[in-house]
Amino acid sequence: QQNISPEDLDKVRNYNELQLGYENLEDRLRASRNIIKDLREKLKAIRELEKVLQQKDEQISKYEVTLKNKTEMNEDLKKQLREGREESHREINLMLSAFLKIGLEMEQVKQQNKNNEPRSFLNKKRG
């Protein structure tokens, strides 16, 4: 065994401690780099998902506009249909009123002719 001075022993101990500290720091650095790598991959995946979400949001917005337009068109068609039915009912009522009026006028003419014809004329028609 060699004669090692206490100062040299302290230096060796300090060196060994520094070496262990260095190795610890290297391990931590490696672990930190791995964590950073994983986080970057996760960030990349999140950004890709955000792009997909943005595309989906845009698509949803387009669908909402289309739905709104179709709903408005549907409401317009319902309104036109309702107005058409109302107009048809009015026309039918007008035609019925006209036929009723014509029928009443014809009945009045018939009654007037009946009253104007002599009794003997009616008897001739019956026989």
For 73-105, what is each residue's pLDDT tens digit? 999 999 999 999 999 999 999 999 999 999 999
Residue 6: per-residue pLDDT:
84
| Euclidean distance between CA atoms 82 and 17, whole angstroms | 93
Residue 121: per-residue pLDDT:
57
Residue 43: per-residue pLDDT:
98
Query: Global pTM?
Result: 0.51
How crowded is the C-beta side of 15, counted as CA atoms within 13 Å? 6
- CA 87, 93, 95: angle at the middle one, nearest 5? 105
Residue 119: per-residue pLDDT:
59
Residue 112: per-residue pLDDT:
81
Residue 14: per-residue pLDDT:
94
> Which residues, given as ranges, of the chain have pLDDT below 50?
none
Non-local CB neighbours of 12 within 8 Å, separated by 6+ positions: 4
| Euclidean distance between CA atoms 92 and 99, whole angstroms | 10
| Tokens of residue 98, six digits | 């006209």
43, 50, 94, 104, 121 from 107: Cα distances, Å: 94, 84, 20, 5, 19
Residue 110: per-residue pLDDT:
84
Total residues belonging to the chain: 127
- CA 72, 75, 76: angle at the middle one, nearest 5? 85
Residue 19: per-residue pLDDT:
94
